[in-house]
Structure 1
Amino acid sequence: MSRSVDSKHVNEIEVVKLFYVALNGNDIPAALSLLDPQIVRVEFEGTPMGGTYRGLDEMKDHFTKGRSTWAEGICNPEKITSVGNAFVVDVHVRVRLKDKTDWIDGRVADAFAFRDGKISEFRSFEKYEDATKWASHA
């Protein structure tokens, strides 16, 4: 028995994957091209870049400042789950900051909402359950 897959969700999943490829490759123009002009980004407090960012200009600054602290690393999206009209991504973060020898190794949950095929909201959570709760109401 075959299962039908919503092509809209397939396209949005591809956008999420491309977003991580751009982010990990420090390709800020490519990452920005996947965002809605009215993007809202919320990164949880307690991270070096915690806060709320709105629009492409603030996102460009956010990406540039955040990536400028990395010596090397990756945010690996291990699982992408459709939740209502949004997506939750289980992310393994492994980063070494400049002038540091120790690696930061942890997990976060990113949640994405879309408008017209572009990412309109991008939120990071410490707990996967919190990301799922947000996504179910997005």
Structure 2
Amino acid sequence: MTTPETVTEGAAVRAVRTMYEAFARGDLPAVLALLDPEITWIEPDGLAVAGTYTGRDAVVEEVFSYSAQNWDPFRVVPDEFLAVGDDVVVALGWYDATHRSTGKSFSARFAHVIRLRDGVVTSMEAIADTHPWREAET
């Protein structure tokens, strides 16, 4: 009989997990410290913030600010991290939010494809079911 191997979490998954934990506790400086200054951030079609953003400032001003102004709470809850080699992590989870103006809530599944270099996120692409978002906004 053999003993099961211990699976260790790689550096890329640890960095991504740390980013989500910082986001969950509202620690924007900790999140930004893990983002490359020239990060490429892609939000899916169907969202008010759909598009490609380049740089931390653009992500904060366009994506994070929109979420903070329009949703309370806005939660990004990963439930699985899949390492793809040493520098790509796919995070699977749920968005949970309530729109400030309409009072409507939604939950939607997401997949985030995150690329890293030297432990810093260089790109993030969100793939999500945007229909529940639109329904909550109207």
Is the pair's TM-score, using the shorter chain for normalization, greater than 0.5? yes
Q: Which consecutive unaligned segments of at least 5 residues does structure 2 have?
A: 130-138
Partners of 1:126 and 1:99 in 2: how far apart? 22
| Aligned 1:63-102 pairs, distance under 5 A | 63-84=64-85, 85-102=87-104
Contact 1:86-1:111 within 8 A present in 2 as well: yes
- Cα displacement string for residues 64-106 of structure 1 (whole angstroms, at most 9, x for unaligned residues): 2222211113111010001233111111111001123221111
Larger radius of gyration: 2
Contact 1:28-1:60 within 8 A present in 2 as well: no
Partners of 2:102 and 2:72 in 1: how far apart? 8
Partners of 1:21 and 1:47 in 2: how far apart? 24
Q: Which consecutive unaligned segments of at least 5 residues does structure 1 have?
A: 128-138
Return 110-119 or 96-105, whichever deviates more. Answer: 96-105
Same amino acid, percent of matched pairs? 24
1:19, distance to aligned residue in structure 2 (A): 1.3
TM-score for the superposition, normalised by structure 2 = 0.79
Contact 1:28-1:64 within 8 A present in 2 as well: no
1:4, distance to aligned residue in structure 2 (A): 6.8
Give aligned pairs, total: 124
| Structure 2 counterpart of 1:126, from 120, 125, 128 | 128
Is 1:17 the equivalent of 2:17?
yes
Partners of 1:4 and 1:103 in 2: how far apart? 37
RMSD (CA atoms):
1.9
